[in-house]
């Protein structure tokens, strides 16, 4: 592993933090925490932790010993000083004299010791850091180390590879007992530069940030060299077997979502999002004839279990026909759920009053296709597949030098149901549309973006379909970070089909369609050229139909209902002069919405629409507002607020109305007006 310490980078950290009145030693602590946290072969997603011991003046002007320690669940790659809270060190050190300290007492003491009472909870490994008498302590779950120590003969391997450079700590669950045991082992030979925690990870320490970091890289490199000497027995040089046609996901993923969402006894019918990972390395791993054996032996380091469960689900569909997929997916997911329940019953005696977690898998291994991460959001699904990629790496290393072995099932259960591990997941938001995939056409225009913002606020995943490259380019970063944008001409059925296939591949399916794209064609109805009307029908009617048809196909496969929402227009019921070419297809779209409500209500699919009027947007731009105002002989302001409530209606109002309709579980076939009140446009 490359040592990435760079003196000029280090200096930059020092001067950057100096401006924030942060000490040089804490700046360097943050620097090497970033170096470690940005190396995915060392730690991922909240794993690992680092600390710094120093002193501070308290309010009584006394010098006290403190330790900065990573907050529980913070990500090392992006951590900043608020994630490295300071705790008073001396009370923590006193606990080394105790023979027992339960989790509640430990967490309570750690919180009491916080210098800033508002700071996040210090890491569950705080005491271990506190006991080691070094200024800097670093802890990672390095893949090369795990490959080496996840073995039946871990102790001998460690001794042979590292000789007396490290202390070796047998596996126990993190907390007070592990801290005491680690210190005891360190005390026996204080010349060691690190501790190997069997089946868990590695600690290094030093009196400078650089020393502790250098030692981490040194020990990881020794492990890498040892592993690289062995030929890889799991991943052959060439990928031999034929892979599954990628189109299979169009049928497979909606079915996976169907059986994940199936109501459980506790009434949960939550929606789930998928994340497919595939590359040569993954496919080689999945092709191995012994996959069923080594992939089921447990997590490569204990804290992965809260993200990916004790075991992944195996889904072999290499020789399956499409018509049999439903049966196969149902059988495999049901079996997984049953087995998870049995695992809970077998092990619940080891934890005080555990409540069973949902029984769904978090990871599917599908030979010929790839790894499928599963989560209540795309972010959680990606975490699962990130950890799965590390698992592929560690297990293939471990199997190449010996035999991969995880901790016993009982210990896996204790970590999975440990309240301090579960606390890391409590921060995950669960909102009314969490797990939903919402597709918005005309997504990067004024109204589309407003709709996106409102649906993001409700926790939904967002896909924006947009054909205007200028709009795509100018979509704000804050939306781009969350949503995916697909360039799509919604008046072209093939384009729509392709876009929906891409959405399935990215998220697993579709739950909400907001068919929003539209444009206003004008012309005196007795003279308007045929092409104008036809063009308007293409976008203002046919595009809605294409999107609905393709979405319905997916929704029916998922069997979890669905929501179709249309941006219609008040023109659909209240024609305006010279707006015939716009109003005609909009009236048809109103009818289209009702037709979908009628024919698909039996499947729990709801269809509703919005009749909005005079919304400032790409369609109703300043130029058009001026011309409409002039033709009515009123000012622009009066034109925009020319309604019963005398107030301008904004894109946000339309967006909020769409969310209201999405959440109205007993409403279908409805048109909601968002026009500030217009008695001639009221529906009868």
- The residues binding Zn ion (CB under 5 A) are 201
Beta carbon nearer to Zn ion, 199 or 628: 199
Distance CA 313, CA 337 (A): 10
Q: How far is the CB of 674 from Zn ion (least distance, A)?
A: 52
What residues have CB less than 8 Å from 646, skipping those under 6 apart? 676
Q: How far is the CB of 299 from Zn ion (least distance, A)?
A: 12
Distance CA 89, CA 475 (A): 49
Q: How far is the CB of 49 from Zn ion (least distance, A)?
A: 7
The answer to whether 205 and 122 have CB atoms below 8 angstroms apart is: no
* 3 state DSSP class of 483: coil
Please state, in angstroms and as integers, the Cα–Cα distance from residue 446 to each residue in 194, 369, 610, following that order: 57, 39, 16
Q: How far is the CB of 161 from Zn ion (least distance, A)?
A: 20
Please state, in angstroms and as integers, the Cα–Cα distance from residue 174 to each residue in 178, 180, 311, 317, 630, following that order: 5, 10, 21, 39, 74
Beta carbon nearer to Zn ion, 201 or 609: 201
- Go through the chain and tell me how many residues it has: 684
Q: How far is the CB of 77 from Zn ion (least distance, A)?
A: 16
The values of phi and psi at residue 441, to 5°, are -90, 155
Tokens 């009123």 belong to 634
Q: How far is the CB of 83 from Zn ion (least distance, A)?
A: 16
Q: How far is the CB of 194 from Zn ion (least distance, A)?
A: 14
Other C-beta atoms lying within 10 Å of the C-beta of residue 11: 14
Question: How distant is the alpha carbon of residue 293 from its chain centre?
Answer: 28
Beta carbon nearer to Zn ion, 175 or 367: 175
Distance CA 197, CA 168 (A): 6
Beta carbon nearer to Zn ion, 128 or 587: 128
Distance CA 305, CA 38 (A): 21
Beta carbon nearer to Zn ion, 201 or 367: 201
Q: What is the gyration radius of the CA atoms in the chain, in angstroms?
A: 30
Q: How far is the CB of 139 from Zn ion (least distance, A)?
A: 6
The answer to whether 389 and 448 have CB atoms below 8 angstroms apart is: no
Beta carbon nearer to Zn ion, 405 or 498: 405
Beta carbon nearer to Zn ion, 46 or 201: 201
Q: Which tokens hold the place of 344?
A: 């809970």
* 3 state DSSP class of 512: strand
Q: How far is the CB of 396 from Zn ion (least distance, A)?
A: 22
Beta carbon nearer to Zn ion, 201 or 435: 201
Q: Which tokens hold the place of 172?
A: 């126990």
The answer to whether 479 and 445 have CB atoms below 8 angstroms apart is: no
Give, in degrees to the nearest 5, the angle at Cα 367 between 366 and 371. 45
Q: How far is the CB of 200 from Zn ion (least distance, A)?
A: 6
Beta carbon nearer to Zn ion, 201 or 354: 201
Beta carbon nearer to Zn ion, 202 or 398: 202
Q: How far is the CB of 387 from Zn ion (least distance, A)?
A: 14
Beta carbon nearer to Zn ion, 224 or 421: 421
Q: How far is the CB of 621 from Zn ion (least distance, A)?
A: 56
Beta carbon nearer to Zn ion, 201 or 518: 201
Please state, in angstroms and as integers, the Cα–Cα distance from residue 442 to each residue in 207, 218, 450, 467, 606, following that order: 58, 53, 11, 7, 21
The answer to whether 340 and 409 have CB atoms below 8 angstroms apart is: no
Beta carbon nearer to Zn ion, 142 or 584: 142
What residue spans of 403-460 are helical by DSSP H? 409-416, 419-426, 446-457
Q: Specify the DSSP element, H or E, that contains 138.
A: strand 136-140
Distance CA 105, CA 101 (A): 6
Tokens 């497919």 belong to 276
Beta carbon nearer to Zn ion, 72 or 460: 72
Distance CA 78, CA 138 (A): 16
Beta carbon nearer to Zn ion, 201 or 448: 201
Residue number of the CB atom closest to Zn ion: 201
The values of phi and psi at residue 108, to 5°, are -60, -45
The answer to whether 109 and 126 have CB atoms below 8 angstroms apart is: no
Q: Write out 329-389 in H/E/C secondary structure.
A: HHHHHHHHHHHHHHHHHHHHHHCCCCCCCCCCCCEEEECCCEEEEEECCHHHHHHHHHHHH
| Full strand arrangement of the beta sheet holding 201-206 | 86-88, 63-69, 49-57, 136-140, 201-206, 194-197, 166-169
Beta carbon nearer to Zn ion, 139 or 570: 139
């Amino acid at each position: 592993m490359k040592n990435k310490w760079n003196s000029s980078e280090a200096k930059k950290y020092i001067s950057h933090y100096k401006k924030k009145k942060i000490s040089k030693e804490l700046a360097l602590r943050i620097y090497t925490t970033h170096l470690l946290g940005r190396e995915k072969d060392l730690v991922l997603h909240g794993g690992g932790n680092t600390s710094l011991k120093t002193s501070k003046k308290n309010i009584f002007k006394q010098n006290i010993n403190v330790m900065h320690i990573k907050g529980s669940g913070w990500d090392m790659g992006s951590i900043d000083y608020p994630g490295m809270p300071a705790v008073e060190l001396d009370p923590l050190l006193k606990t080394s004299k105790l023979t027992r300290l339960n989790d509640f007492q430990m967490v309570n003491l750690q919180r009491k010791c916080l210098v800033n009472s508002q700071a996040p909870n210090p890491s569950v490994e705080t005491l271990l850091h506190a006991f080691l008498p070094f200024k800097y302590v670093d802890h990672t779950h390095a893949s090369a180390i795990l490959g080496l120590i996840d073995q039946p003969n871990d102790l001998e391997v460690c001794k042979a590879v590292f000789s007396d450079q490290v202390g070796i700590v047998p596996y126990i669950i993190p907390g007070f007992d592990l801290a005491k045991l680690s210190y005891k082992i360190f005390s026996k030979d204080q010349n060691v530069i690190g501790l190997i925690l069997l089946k868990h990870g590695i600690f290094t320490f030093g009196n400078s940030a650089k020393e502790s970091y250098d030692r981490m890289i040194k020990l990881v490199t020794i492990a890498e060299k040892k592993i690289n000497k062995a030929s890889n027995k799991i991943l052959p040089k060439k990928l031999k077997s034929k892979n599954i046609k990628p189109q299979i996901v169009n049928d497979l993923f909606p079915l996976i979502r169907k059986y994940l969402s199936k109501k459980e006894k506790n009434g949960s019918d939550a929606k789930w999002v998928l994340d497919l990972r595939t590359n040569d390395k993954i496919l080689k791993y999945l092709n191995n004839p012994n996959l069923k054996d080594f992939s089921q032996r447990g997590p490569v380091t204990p804290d992965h279990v809260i993200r990916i469960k004790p075991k992944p689900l195996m889904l072999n569909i290499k020789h399956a026909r499409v018509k049999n997929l439903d049966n196969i997916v149902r059988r495999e997911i049901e079996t997984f759920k049953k087995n998870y329940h049995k695992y809970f019953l077998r092990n619940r005696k080891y934890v005080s009053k555990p409540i069973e977690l949902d029984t769904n898998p978090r990871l599917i291994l599908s030979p010929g296709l790839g790894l499928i991460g599963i989560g209540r959001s795309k972010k959680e699904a990606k975490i699962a597949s990130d950890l799965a990629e590390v698992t592929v790496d560690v297990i293939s290393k471990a199997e190449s030098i010996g035999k991969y072995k995880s901790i016993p099932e009982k210990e896996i259960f204790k970590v999975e149901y440990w309240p301090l591990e579960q606390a890391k997941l409590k921060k995950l938001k669960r909102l009314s549309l969490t797990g939903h995939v919402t597709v918005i056409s005309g997504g990067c225009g004024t109204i589309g973006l407003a709709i996106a913002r409102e649906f993001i606020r409700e926790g939904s995943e967002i896909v924006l379909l947009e054909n205007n490259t200028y709009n795509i380019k100018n979509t704000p970063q804050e939306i781009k970070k969350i949503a995916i944008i697909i360039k799509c001409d919604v008046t072209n059925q093939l384009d729509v089909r392709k876009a929906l296939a891409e959405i399935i591949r990215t998220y697993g399916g579709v739950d909400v369609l907001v068919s929003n794209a539209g444009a206003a064609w004008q012309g005196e109805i007795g003279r308007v050229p045929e092409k104008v009307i036809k063009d308007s029908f293409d976008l203002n009617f046919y595009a809605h139909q294409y999107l609905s048809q393709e979405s319905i196909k997916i929704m029916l496969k998922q069997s979890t209902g669905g929501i179709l929402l249309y941006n219609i227009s008040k023109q659909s019921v209240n024609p305006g002069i010279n707006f015939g070419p716009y109003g005609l297809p909009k009236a048809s779209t109103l009818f289209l919405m009702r037709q979908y409500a009628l024919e698909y209500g039996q499947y729990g699919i709801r269809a509703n629409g919005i009749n909005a009027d005079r919304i400032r947007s790409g369609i109703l731009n300043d130029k058009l507002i001026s011309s409409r105002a002039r033709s009515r002989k009123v000012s622009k302001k009066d034109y925009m607020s020319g309604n019963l409530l005398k107030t301008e209606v904004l894109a946000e109002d339309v967006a909020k109305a769409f969310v209201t309709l999405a959440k109205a579980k007993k409403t279908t076939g409805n048109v909601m007006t968002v026009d500030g009140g217009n008695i001639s446009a009221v529906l009868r």
